[in-house]
Chains A and B, each alone.
Chain A
Amino acid sequence: MVEVVSWISRMMIPSILVLIPLYAVMRKVPVYESFVEGAKEGFPTAVSIIPHLVGMMVAVSVFRETGALEFYLKFLSPLFSWLHIPMEVVPIGLLRPISGTGSLAFVESVMRTYGPDSFLGKLAATIQGSTDTTLYVLTVYFGAVGIRRSLYALKVGLWADLAGFLASWIICSLMFL
């Protein structure tokens, strides 16, 4: 199983890299020109995201590094212990929507402390895998085209993250405990 999955993910990009241009050549598409034409858009797109991402990541960084995040975690801990949700994975769930690398750091520390095959290790992995960096995605996608009013998109994303977190906890408890 491990071999199959890692083989598939290793083969994915090389096969895309070969198959798309090959098919295009057969359809008489000038592939190299096409590539360059499309690739040109990459730089301006990346640059146009900078202001949005700086704005967001400054706030995230201030929130994290000043200890504000830790304060809210402590404040919420009675609620989580009442629900029997292990405190070790709470920072992952709380941080995941705002910072992917931030929550990944907590996943790593859980794996280092308890091992990747422990219940907590598996739970941490499942949480990280089933949720997404909602704030980052929203900032980048809406920022790139200049949308100011995101309407209900953020709300939906955050509810989905909470659902992914709780579902991970329930499913892992049933499967691995």
Chain B
Amino acid sequence: MIHYIWIFMIASGVVAAAFQGNMDVVTQAALNGAKEAVAVCIGLISILVFWLGMMRIAQDAGLLDKLARLLRPVARFLFPGVPENHPAMGYILSNMSANLFGLGNAATPMGLKAMEELQKLNPDPRTATPAMCTLLALNTSGLTLIPTTIIGIRMKHGSVDPTDIIGPTILATFVATTLAVLLDRYYRNRTFDAHGRLKK
């Protein structure tokens, strides 16, 4: 599906440029996009290095195992395929906690560690596993309790009560995340058999 979205964006961009008779826009836009992507990755380096260092301390101190044990019921419901004491569980749960508190920067390294651990359980390293899809569902549905960035922007624009959107945001996120978890379950049952193997 991602292939289609990719080709759709590029093809419609080129057609739009053709209609305006200005193909140079495409070249410029493509190079801008590439430049921006590398800039994002460079920005990610410092965040990844810092948080992965902190995460390792937490892991060596046994904090991740503690967190995983604490949230075991949630984890067992969301990730039935992952063994309970697997290191992936601690990373998944710290990724979820970081997302909930709006620490977007910290959530990415933890999510990547979780993916890495889940990949070790994956029989086919090129194809996503059910647990990976669930982790993505949680991350792409915008799971947040305190939308810190948005509150900051509202403060910047002189809002009288910048936090009054917390309530509606939590409600809307709850709707989106619930739907994501349900849909994830639905597609998982259609795509995988009971042993986590691809059907057909």
Interchain CB contact under 8 A, B142 and A125: no
B60 touching A62 by the CB < 8 A rule? no
Q: Which residues of A contact B15 (CB under 8 A)?
A: 68
Q: Is the interface of B mostly helix, strand, loop or mixed?
A: helix
Residue of B nearest to A159 (CB): B183
B-side interface size class = 35 or more
The reply to whether A140 and B108 form a contact with Cβ atoms under 8 Å apart is yes
Instruction: Give bound CA distance, A128 to B162, whole Å.
Output: 14
Determine whether B38 belongs to the interface, using a CB cutoff of 8 Å to chain A: yes
The answer to whether A161 and B29 have CB atoms under 8 Å apart is no
Q: Min CB distance, A121 to chain B, in Å? A: 8
- Whether B57 sits at the interface, judged by CB under 8 Å, is yes
| 0/1 interface trace, chain B 52-67, chain A, CB 8 Å (1 if under) | 1111111111110000
On chain A, the number of residues with a Cβ less than 8 Å from chain B's Cβ atoms is 102
Task: Render A40-77 as a binary contact track against B, CB cut-off 8 A, 1 for contact.
Answer: 01110111011001111111111111111001100000
- B46, closest chain A residue (CB): A42
CA distance A66 to B1 in the complex (A): 23
Output the nearest chain A residue to B62 by Cβ-Cβ distance: A27
B73 to chain A, nearest CB (A): 23
Q: Is B90 an interface residue (CB 8 A)?
A: no
Query: Looking at the complex, which one of A1, A65, A112 makes contact with B157 (CB distance below 8 Å)?
Result: A112
Q: Which of A34, A54, A127 contacts B57 (CB 8 A)?
A: A34
Q: Within 8 Å of chain A (Cβ to Cβ): is B85?
A: no
Q: A21-B57, A66-B26 are in contact. Are A171 and B168 (CB under 8 A)?
A: yes
Query: In the complex, which of the residues B29, B140, B159 has the most CB atoms of chain A within 10 Å of its own CB atom?
Result: B140
Tell me if B17 is interfacial: C-beta within 8 Å of chain A.
yes
Q: If the complex has contacts A71-B16, A115-B157, A144-B115, are A35 and B54 also in contact, measured as CB distance less than 8 A?
A: yes
A63 to B6, CA, bound (A): 10
A contacts, CB < 8 Å to B: 1-2, 5-6, 8-9, 12-13, 16-17, 20-21, 23-24, 27, 29, 31, 34-39, 41-43, 45-47, 49-50, 53-68, 71-72, 97-98, 104, 107-108, 111-112, 115-117, 121-122, 125-135, 137-138, 140-142, 144-157, 159-161, 163-164, 167-168, 171-172, 175-176
Which 7 A-B pairs rank lowest in CB-CB distance, beginning with the nearest?
A38-B56, A61-B33, A42-B49, A157-B140, A39-B53, A129-B147, A164-B176
